[in-house]
Amino acid sequence: MSDHQHIVSSFDRDLEGIQARIMKMGGLVEKAILDAATSLETRDEELAEQVRAGDRVIDELEEQINEEAARVIALRAPTAVDLRVILTVMKIAGNLERIGDYAKNMAKRTTVLAQMAPINGASAALRRMAREVELMLRDALDAYIQRDADLAIDVVHRDHDVDQMYNALFREFLTFMMEDPRNITPCMHLHFIAKNTERMGDHVTSISEQVIYLVTGEMPEDTRPKQDRTSTDASVSPQV
Amino acid sequence: MSDHQHIVSSFDRDLEGIQARIMKMGGLVEKAILDAATSLETRDEELAEQVRAGDRVIDELEEQINEEAARVIALRAPTAVDLRVILTVMKIAGNLERIGDYAKNMAKRTTVLAQMAPINGASAALRRMAREVELMLRDALDAYIQRDADLAIDVVHRDHDVDQMYNALFREFLTFMMEDPRNITPCMHLHFIAKNTERMGDHVTSISEQVIYLVTGEMPEDTRPKQDRTSTDASVSPQV
C-alpha cells in the first residue's frame, strides 16, 4: 500500500513538472498569437521578427515535454488512467506547437504585407479573429488544469464563431480582389492568415476535445459541425 | 534470461500488429492522395466522394494505433529504445492522419471546382505534385519498415522539389487571377490545394525525420531549408 502511494506520488510529481512546461508553452503561444496579430495591424516588423524568433523556444518546449513524458512512461509504467493523462499532455503539446507555427507564419506574412498597400479593415478583422482564438486557448488550458469538461465544451462551441469570421473574410477578400487586381497579392496573404487563424481555432478545439475525453472518458462526437463552408460551397463563386 | 526473451518477443509481436496497421493506413493515405488528384483532373465527383468517405477509415486506424500503443506501453513497460519505437509509430500515425485530411480537403474542393471553368493546365500540374508526394510517402514508409536512414534522407531532400513546384504554381495562379477576375475564385481553391499538397510533403518529411531519428538516434537539423518562399518573398508582388 505504501509502495503504491509512493509510486503514485512520484508519478504526480513527474506530471507536475510536465504540466508546468505545458502552461509555460501555452503562455508563449498565447503571446505569439496576439503579438503576430498586433504586428500585422500596426505593421510592426520588429515585433513580427520577435514572434518568428520566439517560435524556437516553443518548439524546444514541445521536445522537452515529449522527452519527459517518454521518460515518465518508461520509469513509472503508469496505469491506464495515468497513461491517458500523459498521452493527452503530449497531444496538447503537439497542438500548441502547431498553433505556434501558424503564429510564426502570420508574423512572416506581416513582413511581406508591410511593403504593400493596406486592405481596408482587413488587419483589424484578423486581429479580432486572432484575439478570439487566443481567448479560446486560454480557456482550453484552464479547462485542462481544472479538469473542467463544461468549460472545454464551451470552447468547442465558440470555434463556430471563428469559422464564421473566416467565412465572412473569405468573401470580403474575394470582392477586394475582383475590384482591383492590385489587391490580389495582399489579399492572397491575408486570406492565408485568415485560414491559418481558423486552423489555430481547430487546434484549440482539439485541445478542448482532449480535455473532455480526459474528464469524461468519451470523445465528443459531432459536437462541432465543421463550419468552414468555403471548400464545399459553390455560392461563394462570383456571379461573373 | 528466458524471461527477458519472453518479454522481448511479446513486445515484438505487439509491435508487429501496430506496424501492420501503420502499413494499412499508409496504403490508404497513398490511395487517397492519388484518387483526390485524379478526381480533380478528371472532374470525377463520384471518386471525390469516395475519398471523402474513406477518410473515416484512416481516422479510425489512427485511433486504433494510439489505443494499441498505449496498451503496449502499459502492459510491457518497454525499455527506452522500444519506447522510442512506439512513440515514433504514434507520431507517424499522426502525420498520416493529417495527410489524409489534406487529401479529403482536396476532394472537397474537386466538387466545387467541377462547377467552374477549368484553369488551363492547373489540375495536371497539381496531379504531378500530388504524385511526387505520394512517391515520397511510399519511400518514407519503406524507409521506416527497413530502418533505412539513407532512403529517409533522400525523401527529406526531395521535399525541396515539391516546395519548388508549389512556388511555381503560386506565381502562375497570381497571373491567372490578374488576367481575368473570373479566374479568382477557382484559383483561390487551386491555390489552397497546392498549399495543402505542399503541407502533405512537410508531413512526409516529418515521417522521414522520425525514421532518421529512430535509426541514428539523432534528429536531422537543418537538412531541409524551408523552400516555400511565398510567405516571405515580396517579389511575388505584381508590378502593377
In CATH terms, the superfamily for domain B2-236 is Phosphate transport system protein phou homolog 2; domain 2 (1.20.58.220)
Residues, chain A, total? Answer: 240
Chain B, nearest residue to A52 by Cα: B232
Q: Compare CB distances from A237 to B87, B116, B195 and report the shortest one's residue.
A: B116
Cell of B56: 473515416
Task: Let me know: does A62 contact A93? Beta carbons within 8 Å.
Answer: yes
Task: Let me know: does A198 contact A230? Beta carbons within 8 Å.
Answer: no
Least confident span in A4-8, A99-103, A171-175? A4-8
pLDDT digits (tens, 9 = 90+) for B103-132: 999 999 999 999 998 898 899 999 999 999
Distance from C-alpha of A196 to C-alpha of A204, rounded to nearest angstrom = 12
| Chain B residues inside the 8 Å CB shell of A236 | 185
Assess B78–A contact: CB distance below 8 Å, yes or no. Answer: yes
Q: According to the 3-state scheme, what is the secondary structure of A169-182?
A: HHHHHHHHHHHCHH
Distance from C-alpha of B78 to C-alpha of A83, rounded to nearest angstrom = 13
| Chain A residues inside the 8 Å CB shell of B199 | none
**A 83-122 residues with CB below 8 A of B?**
83-84, 87, 94, 105, 108-109, 111-112, 115-116
Interface probe for A, chosen from B184, B191, B193 (most Cβ of A below 10 Å), is B184
Domain segments of chain A: what residues? Answer: 2-228
Rounded average pLDDT per 10-residue block, chain B, 240 residues? 54 89 97 97 96 96 89 79 86 94 95 90 94 98 96 96 94 91 92 94 95 86 53 42
Distance from C-alpha of B26 to C-alpha of B92, rounded to nearest angstrom = 9
Which of A101, A111, A96 has its CA nearest to residue A189?
A111
Which of B91, B117, B122, B104 has its CA nearest to residue B191?
B122
pLDDT recorded at residue A12: 85
Which amino acid, residue B138?
R
Whole-number Cα distances in Å, B86 to A62, B12, B90, B155, B210: 18, 11, 6, 22, 11
Cell 505593421, residue? A43
Distance from C-alpha of A198 to C-alpha of B188, rounded to nearest angstrom = 16
Query: Mean of the per-residue pLDDT values for chain A?
Result: 87
Which of A220, A76, A87, A91 has its CA nearest to residue B71?
A87
pLDDT digits (tens, 9 = 90+) for A214-225: 998 877 764 444
Q: How many CB atoms lie within 10 A of CB A219?
A: 11
Q: Compare CB distances from B184 to A94, A174, A195 and report the shortest one's residue.
A: A174
What's the pLDDT band for A79 if we cut at 50, 70, 90?
confident
Q: How many CB atoms lie within 10 A of CB A133?
A: 30
pLDDT digits (tens, 9 = 90+) for A175-221: 999 999 999 999 999 999 999 999 999 999 999 999 999 998 877 76
Residue that wins the pLDDT comparison between B129 and A234: B129
pLDDT recorded at residue A234: 47
pLDDT recorded at residue A43: 94
Q: Is residue A88 over pLDDT 80?
A: yes
Closest-CA distance, B158 to chain A, in angstroms, reads: 22
Distance from C-alpha of B155 to C-alpha of B139, rounded to nearest angstrom = 7
pLDDT recorded at residue A67: 84
At A116, phi and psi to the nearest 5?
Answer: -120, 165
Backbone Cα Rg of chain A? 20
pLDDT recorded at residue B234: 47
Q: Compare CB distances from B178 to A84, A184, A191 and report the shortest one's residue.
A: A184
Distance from C-alpha of A184 to C-alpha of B176, rounded to nearest angstrom = 11
Interface probe for B, chosen from A176, A195, A237, A239 (most Cβ of B below 10 Å), is A237
pLDDT recorded at residue B74: 76
| Chain B residues inside the 8 Å CB shell of A66 | 87
- Cα dihedral across residues A100, B91, A78, B80: positive or negative: negative
Flag if A70 and B84 touch (Cβ within 8 Å). yes
Residues, chain B, total? Answer: 240
pLDDT recorded at residue B41: 94
Flag if A79 and B74 touch (Cβ within 8 Å). yes
Flag if A109 and B231 touch (Cβ within 8 Å). yes
Flag if A184 and B191 touch (Cβ within 8 Å). no
Flag if A191 and B188 touch (Cβ within 8 Å). yes
Question: What percent of chain A shows pLDDT beyond 90?
Answer: 66
Flag if A232 and B112 touch (Cβ within 8 Å). yes
Q: Is residue A127 over pLDDT 60?
A: yes
Q: How many CB atoms lie within 10 A of CB B148?
A: 16
Least confident span in A66-75, A161-170, B1-10, B99-108? B1-10
Task: Let me know: does A211 contact A228? Beta carbons within 8 Å.
Answer: no
CATH, domain range A2-228: 1.20.58.220
Distance from C-alpha of A58 to C-alpha of A51, rounded to nearest angstrom = 11
Q: Taking each helix axis as running N to C, give the angle between helix A122-146 and helix A2-42, from 0 to 180 degrees, rounded to the nearest 10.
A: 170
Long-range own/partner contacts, residues A3-7 (CB < 8 A, 24 or more apart)? A7/A76
pLDDT digits (tens, 9 = 90+) for B3-41: 455 555 688 888 899 999 999 999 999 999 999 999 999
Chain A, nearest residue to B191 by Cα: A188
pLDDT recorded at residue B236: 44
Q: What is the mean pLDDT of residues A115-138?
A: 94
